[in-house]
Amino acid sequence: MTAHAGDAAVPAPPHSHRGRYLAVWIALLLLTGLTWGLSRSHVPGFAGVAIALGIAIVKGTLVALFFMHLWDRPGPSRLVLLSSLVFVALLIGLTLLDVSTRSPLALPPDADTAPEALRRTILEEEAAGRRSPPERLPRATP
Amino acid sequence: MSPLPAGDPPVYAARNYLNTPATGLRSWLTTLDHKRIGVMFLVATLVAFALGGVFALLIRIELLTPGPTIMDAMTYNRIFTLHGVVMIFLFMIPAIPSGFGNFLLPIMLGARDVAFPRLNLLSFYLYLAGAAIALWGMIHGGADTGWTFYTPYSTTTTTKVVPILLGAFVVGFSSILTGLNFIVTTHTLRAPGITWSKLPLFVWSIYATSVIQILATPVLGMTLLLVAIEHAFGWGIFDPARGGDPVLFQHFFWFYSHPAVYIMILPAMAVMSEVVCAFSRKNIFGYKAVAYSSLGIAFVGFFTWGHHLFTSGQSPYDAGVFGVLTMFVGIFTAIKIFNWVATLYRGSISFKTPFLYFLGFLFFLFFGGMTGVALATVSLDVHWQDTYFVVAHFHFIMVGSTIMAFLAALHYWWPKLTGRLYSERWGLVGAVLIISGFVFTFLPQFLLGNEGMPRRYFAYPARYQALNVASSAGASVLAIGFSVVLVYLLVALRHGPVAGSNPWGSRGYEWETSSPPPLENFEVVPAFERGPHEYHDLPAAAPGAGEGRHA
Ligand SMILES: [Cu+2]
């Protein structure tokens, strides 16, 4: 990109960070492997999710800082990224507010265990070849 | 440069963007000139509008009688889906920002072009590619889900929903790139003298639109992709049997699609802020309020999406929160309406075609807006949800307002785009036909919805027939009105009188350059000392006084 008048104050740094990119790339691969290992080790419930999300945040931060050059460009560029995160929080926040305040009456009595049981049944049927993955459950009414 | 038509005959600029650097098709298809890209967007979106209009007429013909009229139920489902998809994704979202925005924004900033001209051309081709993919899906069966693609139906239907989803996905990238381009252009390429407080109000509103396009459209892309994946591979993200949640789709979808309403309406407001000043020959009343309320709408528009989920299984607590948040949008819209009306007060008003469309816009925005506030009330929405009341509401506020603004823009900037004048007399005839046809089409639908007629059914009980016939009759008036406009504009393209640089006597920066503008927009880098809506230093005279022989 050629510099415009408004950008002139912040000269683009020379792109000679090959070693840095390589290190970040290796770190990302290691973290991906870590996530994969976590999924295999069956850390129970909330802790597993929290660790996986933590790894994802670290990876996202690495990409934003180094591959998207925010490390070299403080100021407005970082502000733009941070303010867009506000809207991500909004999307997730108000959606979770819905799920967390839904009336229990609206859910079937075994709502917390049924989906998992059903999922397992479906996976078993798929494994046994009785159900091909793209096939959907039959619809209630035609 | 004189803002008032002087004695000299108006001049058609000999060297302009239409003939420089060349006139061939190749020079258009490979152009990096924002004006040509804007014109190509206008032509493409108008073709989409005609296609969507044909679908609309087919719907209205089918609903003439309570039973089957010209098609079966499945065809009807496809037709209303295609009507929605084409009108929203291919016409209303890109028409004003990508069409008029592209043409006008750099000129209004005194810039030579947008910041990233190549990205601009890419945006146009992404639009074409997305439209082509969607068109392919339509020809090969179309989809029957409605333009909202609600799960679980959209993930299980056997119609060609995937190409239409992908088409909308690709068009979304066009929208993002255009928004990005406009934001960077506004920040970096303003001519000397154009400070933020001297930006034309058109630019403020388009800027706010661009912010929404960048923040919201990626969520639409993600959502459409998830539906396509679920349809093809059954991942179960929205399937309760596999641990998913269909209401989650509605949250994702409306997180984009409610702000998308403001992608359509903010550019309409952008146009109207210019038109109201030019045709009442007055400074805008409360420049800062009008400018900042655009940003306010863009911001608050992100907090309201849940009002589409009041009856979808969303928690009553969340519904209440969203209902209240929705009403905040009304505050910013009301600020704008008040300021426009106050601008008219003691202005020197001339009833030219764009001004007539402004009045139509004011009516549709106000009527549609007030029914929107009513719909934001949870208990009322339970009664109206999925009835024709909602259909009539959003056609008034989104379609009515946007089309009024689109036509106002087309007529107001027609002399700048083409260097020629349209027939003012036929312009008024067309405007009256379109505004009355629109009211005639959708007013009966408010009544139908209130009586309980649900949307998206191709048959209905016989007692609803009278109002449905009235609505279809209105639609035919609308069709005649659009045909009239098309004919006289095409005639004006060749045979219209030469407009000169500023036939309206407008103070907008874009009227300072010749018509049609040269490739570089301005012969010399302009420096603007005055604001873009300042009329107080001019003698009061009707704009367009110089073209009396034509009217
Ligand atoms: Cu909405």
Question: What spacing in Å lies between the alpha carbon of B257 and ligand 1's midpoint?
Answer: 7
Sign (positive or negative) of CA dihedral B120, B126, B127, B129: positive
Interchain contact, B236 vs A119, CB within 8 Å: yes
Q: What is the mean pLDDT of residues B200-218?
A: 94
| Residue A110, min C-alpha distance to chain B (Å) | 13
pLDDT at res. B384: 93
Distance CA B120, CA B202 (A): 19
In CATH, the architecture of B37-527 is: Up-down Bundle (1.20)
Q: What is the mean pLDDT of residues B527-532?
A: 80
pLDDT at res. B548: 39
Is the pLDDT score of A19 beyond 60? Answer: yes
pLDDT at res. A16: 66
The amino acid occupying position B238 is F
DSSP-derived secondary structure letter, B199: S
Is the pLDDT score of A45 beyond 90? Answer: no
The model's confidence at residue A109, banded by pLDDT at 50, 70 and 90, is low
Give the number of other Cβ atoms within 10 Å of residue B64's Cβ: 14
Distance CA B80, CA B75 (A): 9
Q: Which of A5-9, B246-250, B474-478, B520-524 has the lowest mean pLDDT?
A: A5-9
Q: Among B62, B135, B55, B105, which residue's Cα sits nearest to residue B267? A: B105
Percent of residues, chain B, with pLDDT higher than 90: 73
Interchain contact, A98 vs B240, CB within 8 Å: no
Is the pLDDT score of B353 beyond 70? Answer: yes
B249: Cβ–Cβ under 8 A, 6 or more apart, which residues?
Answer: B150, B151, B223, B226, B227, B238
| DSSP assignments along A8-77, one per residue | TTSPPPP---HHHHHHHHHHHHHHHHHHHHHHHHT--HHHHHHHHHHHHHHHHHHIIIIIT-TTT--THH
Mean pLDDT score of chain A, rounded to an integer?
A: 76
Q: Is B321 on the interface with A (CB under 8 A)?
A: yes
| Residue A115, min C-alpha distance to chain B (Å) | 5
Interchain contact, B242 vs A101, CB within 8 Å: no
Number of A:B CB contacts under 8 A? 78
Domain ranges of chain A: 16-92
pTM attached to this predicted model:
0.87
Sign (positive or negative) of CA dihedral B344, B345, B349, B352: positive
| Residue A58, min C-alpha distance to chain B (Å) | 22
Nearest CA in chain B to A5: B188
pLDDT at res. B291: 93
Coil, helix or strand for B297?
A: helix
Q: What is the mean pLDDT of residues B438-465?
A: 94
Sign (positive or negative) of CA dihedral B470, B471, B474, B476: negative
Q: Is residue B164 exposed (0-12), middle (13-18) or buried (19+ Cβ within 10 Å)?
A: buried
pLDDT, tens digit (0-9, with 9 covering 90-100), for A49-101: 889 899 999 999 999 989 888 888 878 888 888 888 899 999 999 999 988 88
Is the pLDDT score of B276 beyond 80? Answer: yes
pLDDT, tens digit (0-9, with 9 covering 90-100), for B62-107: 999 999 999 999 999 999 999 999 999 999 999 999 999 999 999 9
Nearest CB partner across the interface for B215, out of A84, A102, A133: A84
Is the pLDDT score of A1 beyond 60? Answer: no
- Alpha-carbon distance values, B325 to A86, A87, A99, B390, B406 (Å): 17, 15, 18, 19, 29
Half-sphere exposure of A134 toward its Cβ, with a 13 Å CA cutoff?
10
Q: φ, ψ for residue B454 (rounded to 5)?
A: -75, 155
Is the pLDDT score of B261 beyond 80? Answer: yes
Q: Which of A72-81, B461-470, B493-502, B515-524 has the lowest mean pLDDT?
A: A72-81
Q: φ, ψ for residue B417 (rounded to 5)?
A: -70, -45
pLDDT at res. B2: 41
Distance CA B46, CA B318 (A): 39
pLDDT, tens digit (0-9, with 9 covering 90-100), for B397-418: 999 999 999 999 999 999 999 9
Q: Among B513, B499, B508, which residue's Cα sits nearest to residue B423? A: B499
Mean pLDDT score of chain B, rounded to an integer?
A: 90
The amino acid occupying position A56 is A
Q: Among B182, B284, B166, which residue's Cα sits nearest to residue B224? A: B166
Sign (positive or negative) of CA dihedral B226, B227, B229, B235: positive
Give the number of other Cβ atoms within 10 Å of residue B268's Cβ: 29
Residues of chain A neighbouring B321 (CB-CB closer than 8 A) = 94, 97
The model's confidence at residue A10, banded by pLDDT at 50, 70 and 90, is low
pLDDT at res. A11: 53
pLDDT, tens digit (0-9, with 9 covering 90-100), for B132-186: 999 899 888 888 888 999 988 888 888 888 999 999 999 999 999 999 999 999 9
pLDDT at res. B281: 92
Question: What spacing in Å lies between the alpha carbon of B261 and ligand 1's midpoint?
Answer: 7
Is the pLDDT score of A39 beyond 90? Answer: no
Q: Which of B147-161, B382-396, B461-475 has the lowest mean pLDDT?
A: B147-161
Distance CA A50, CA A73 (A): 30
Q: Is B358 on the interface with A (CB under 8 A)?
A: no
Residues of chain B neighbouring A106 (CB-CB closer than 8 A) = 313
Q: Is A94 on the interface with B (CB under 8 A)?
A: yes
Q: What is the mean pLDDT of residues A15-23?
A: 82
B534, B281 contact by CB (below 8 A): no
Q: Is A140 on the interface with B (CB under 8 A)?
A: no
Interchain contact, B215 vs A94, CB within 8 Å: no
Question: What spacing in Å lies between the alpha carbon of B296 and ligand 1's midpoint?
Answer: 16
pLDDT at res. A108: 59
B339 φ/ψ sector (left φ>0, alpha ψ -120 to 50, else beta) = alpha
Q: What is the mean pLDDT of residues B326-351?
A: 92
Nearest CA in chain A to B156: A136
Distance CA B98, CA B91 (A): 10
Using CA atoms in the order B332, B267, B48, B357, what is the torsion angle rounded to 10 degrees? 80
Is the pLDDT score of A141 beyond 50? Answer: no
Interchain contact, B316 vs A84, CB within 8 Å: no
Question: What spacing in Å lies between the alpha carbon of B305 and ligand 1's midpoint?
Answer: 5
Domain ranges of chain B: 37-527
pLDDT, tens digit (0-9, with 9 covering 90-100), for B21-56: 888 899 999 999 999 999 999 999 999 999 999 999
Interchain contact, B234 vs A136, CB within 8 Å: yes
| Residue A21, min C-alpha distance to chain B (Å) | 26
The model's confidence at residue B219, banded by pLDDT at 50, 70 and 90, is very high
Distance CA B498, CA B422 (A): 10
Percent of residues, chain A, with pLDDT higher than 90: 23
Q: What is the mean pLDDT of residues B315-319?
A: 89
pLDDT at res. A7: 43
Is the pLDDT score of A6 beyond 70? Answer: no
Distance CA B316, CA B318 (A): 6
Helix, strand and coil in chain A, % to nearest 5: 65, 0, 35
Give the number of other Cβ atoms within 10 Å of residue B550's Cβ: 16
Distance CA B302, CA B92 (A): 19
Is the pLDDT score of A47 beyond 90? Answer: no
B459, B73 contact by CB (below 8 A): yes
Residues of chain A neighbouring B305 (CB-CB closer than 8 A) = 94
Half-sphere exposure of B255 toward its Cβ, with a 13 Å CA cutoff?
26
Q: Which of A115-124, B61-70, B220-229, B414-423 has the lowest mean pLDDT?
A: A115-124
Nearest CB partner across the interface for A5, out of B155, B188, B247: B188
pLDDT at res. A105: 60
| Crossing angle (nearest 10°) for helices B34-62 and B73-85 | 160
pLDDT at res. A101: 84
Q: Among B89, B174, B176, which residue's Cα sits nearest to residue B125? A: B174
| DSSP assignments along B474-526, one per residue | HHHHHHHHHHHHHHHHHHHHHHSPB--S-TT----GGGGS-SSPPTTSSSS--
Residues of chain A neighbouring B115 (CB-CB closer than 8 A) = 4
B120: Cβ–Cβ under 8 A, 6 or more apart, which residues?
Answer: B32, B34, B37, B102, B114, B177, B178, B181
Q: What is the mean pLDDT of residues B114-140?
A: 94
pLDDT at res. B156: 85
Q: Among B270, B255, B102, B274, which residue's Cα sits nearest to residue B179? A: B102
pLDDT at res. B1: 41
Q: What is the mean pLDDT of residues B257-276?
A: 94
The model's confidence at residue B10, banded by pLDDT at 50, 70 and 90, is confident
Q: Which of A118-122, B403-407, B542-546 has the lowest mean pLDDT?
A: B542-546
The model's confidence at residue B125, banded by pLDDT at 50, 70 and 90, is very high
The residue of B229, B255, B258, B312 whose CB has the most chain A CBs within 10 angstroms, and thus the best one to mutate to test that interface, is: B255
B4, B541 contact by CB (below 8 A): yes
Q: Is the ipTM of this complex over 0.90?
A: no
